[in-house]
Structure 1
């Protein structure tokens, strides 16, 4: 096993769960929220700041200015002059590359496919699902989501954030087939079936690279 798998996902599609199961199948690590802790540790930013900007582009100039002044003080450094959202992205970007250099793994979200565009042993996947399946999964996961309408609202908000983040920081379009190597609707085969399909795809990919 020598492949790095990145997973973009619609909210409620089971992308994180699928990533963890694929990683377990191959005996490799899966990075999702764990990536944020590591990015915070290696960059020196507090973890709360990283989490607050996770896959959420902040376009408010005033907010960025206030946060920069509060967090870093006044300084002539070009890095410190950069908006806080950009700094957080760069911290995650660097962490993704460091993780990939350590060996095969699964990385969920965070524009990992874009960060690793120059790595030859990467497979970029995107997981989607039909609305009914996503709403059902969201309601099962979050106790405070008590209706389909609330689940749909949460789903649309999260996906909009992810789309804006990805489209802003990468040169590609979130969720569009030509941005990835493989796009899969997890509703068709279910979570287990999708994992089985992906693991076979990865094994075939590795065989093709050896040929």
Structure 2
């Protein structure tokens, strides 16, 4: 295996403002593989027949009316079951994304950002899960510059988005968002920098691939 190829599917969970998506794109570029972020929504929409706007509306947002065991039972029967037809739209969205993630992973190595991809691929021996976090002040500064916001506005955006992602992840999986126990590798992008974090992930993947041989 040459130095810039991989057999792994890399999933990246990320705190808002930690540059997780950009880091994922750098990792994908290095290995010459695709990086799926919001593209996951488009694939799920195309495969399920549910319009893309609904996926965007429900994207990584929590729900309070969902019984995990019930939905996973329904999932096991497939989309054609009456149970799926009768499910609320946010449940259908989650299951369609779940299916799209598994399908894309079956096509070969790639990087997937967010959307419980690590959970969807928990049984895939090629999956390597990463979580990117960063110092709050560093994230505030980055979001303020990126979106031309003041510090308070940036902090509010961060808190709101992190709360939404955390609730969504915790609700649909049996793990805790951001907890080291939930991932294979956790990295602080405010300490390593964006390029340094990408390089750390790349090095970890090289090690992981060598151990799989």
TM-score, normalised relative to structure 1: 0.89
Aligned residue among 112, 118, 129 for 1:107: 112
Q: Secondary structure at the residue paired with 1:5?
A: strand
Aligned residue among 69, 89, 98 for 1:93: 98
| Aligned pairs (5 A) from 1:100-179 | 100-143=105-148, 145=149, 147-179=150-182
Q: Which stretch shifts more, 120-129 or 77-86?
A: 77-86
Distance in 2 separating the partners of 1:81 and 1:112: 25
Deviations 1:112-164 (A, max 9, x none): 00000110011000000001110111112213x2x111100110000000000
Distance in 2 separating the partners of 1:201 and 1:78: 42
Q: Secondary structure at the residue paired with 1:183?
A: strand
Q: CA deviation at 1:87?
A: 0.4
**Counterpart of 2:54?**
49
Q: Secondary structure at the residue paired with 2:129?
A: strand
Q: Over aligned residue pairs, what C-alpha RMSD do you find?
A: 1.3
1:190 and 2:193 are equivalent in the alignment? yes
Distance in 1 separating the partners of 2:32 and 2:182: 27
1:35 and 2:40 are equivalent in the alignment? yes
1:21 and 2:51 are equivalent in the alignment? no
Q: Secondary structure at the residue paired with 1:124?
A: strand
Question: How many residues of Structure 1 are paired with residues of Structure 2 in the alignment?
Answer: 194
Q: Which runs of 5+ in 1 are unaligned?
A: 62-75
Distance in 1 separating the partners of 2:47 and 2:145: 35
Q: CA deviation at 1:196?
A: 1.0
Q: Secondary structure at the residue paired with 1:173?
A: coil
Distance in 1 separating the partners of 2:65 and 2:105: 32
**Counterpart of 1:202?**
205
**Counterpart of 1:72?**
none
Q: CA deviation at 1:107?
A: 0.2
Distance in 1 separating the partners of 2:180 and 2:206: 21
